[in-house]
């Protein structure tokens, strides 16, 4: 099985649960892993399509990390229907809360063999 990964995709967007986040914005980071079946010819996944899919998700008026993960996953599954597994992790870097927090993260991955 071949894994194609694009990690550390940076996005700055006025998204979040709280009103001030829609004014000041947040820094987000996304990791995507796509597991492709062994096949001939060798499987291929376009990195630019992965990055464009991530960027497009943050143009939507979503508020929750879970909604971004679902949107990205759904679009990637449509673009790569032959993928055996897809993993998407979305992090909000330095979320606006009391104390020092590096990031909040939501991750989803399909179990192997689940379409």
What pLDDT digit, counting tens, does each position of 29-87 carry? 999 999 988 876 777 788 999 999 999 999 988 888 899 999 999 999 999 998 999 99
Residue 59 placed within a domain: yes
Q: What is the pLDDT of residue 114?
A: 59
For the domain that residue 84 is a member of, what is the CATH number?
A: 3.30.1130.10
Residue 56 placed within a domain: yes
* Per-residue DSSP letter, 30: E
**77: helix, coil or strand?**
helix
Residue 69 placed within a domain: yes
Please state, in angstroms and rounded to a whole number, the distance separating the CA atoms of residues 111 and 115.
Answer: 9
Q: What is the pLDDT of residue 43?
A: 72
Residue 105 placed within a domain: yes
**Domain, as residue range, for 9:** 2-109
Please state, in angstroms and rounded to a whole number, the distance separating the CA atoms of residues 43 and 48.
Answer: 16
pTM for the model = 0.88
Residue 115 placed within a domain: no
The CB density around residue 54, as the number of other CB atoms within 10 Å, is: 25
Q: At residue 81, what are phi and psi to the nearest 5 degrees?
A: -65, -20
**99: helix, coil or strand?**
coil
Q: What is the pLDDT of residue 115?
A: 56
H or E stretch covering 12:
strand 2-13
Q: What is the pLDDT of residue 102?
A: 94
Residue 41 placed within a domain: yes
């Amino acid at each position: 099985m071949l894994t194609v990964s694009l990690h550390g995709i940076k996005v700055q967007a006025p998204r979040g649960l709280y009103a001030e986040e829609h004014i000041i914005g947040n820094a987000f980071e996304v990791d995507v892993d796509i597991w492709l079946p062994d096949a001939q010819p060798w499987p291929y996944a376009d990195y630019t399509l992965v990055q464009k899919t991530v960027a497009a998700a943050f143009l939507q008026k979503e508020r929750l990390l879970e909604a971004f993960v679902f949107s990205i996953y759904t679009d990637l599954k449509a673009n790569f229907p032959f993928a055996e597994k897809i993993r998407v992790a979305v992090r909000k870097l330095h979320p606006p809360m009391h104390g020092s927090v590096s990031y909040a993260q939501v991750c989803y991955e399909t179990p192997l063999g689940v379409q």
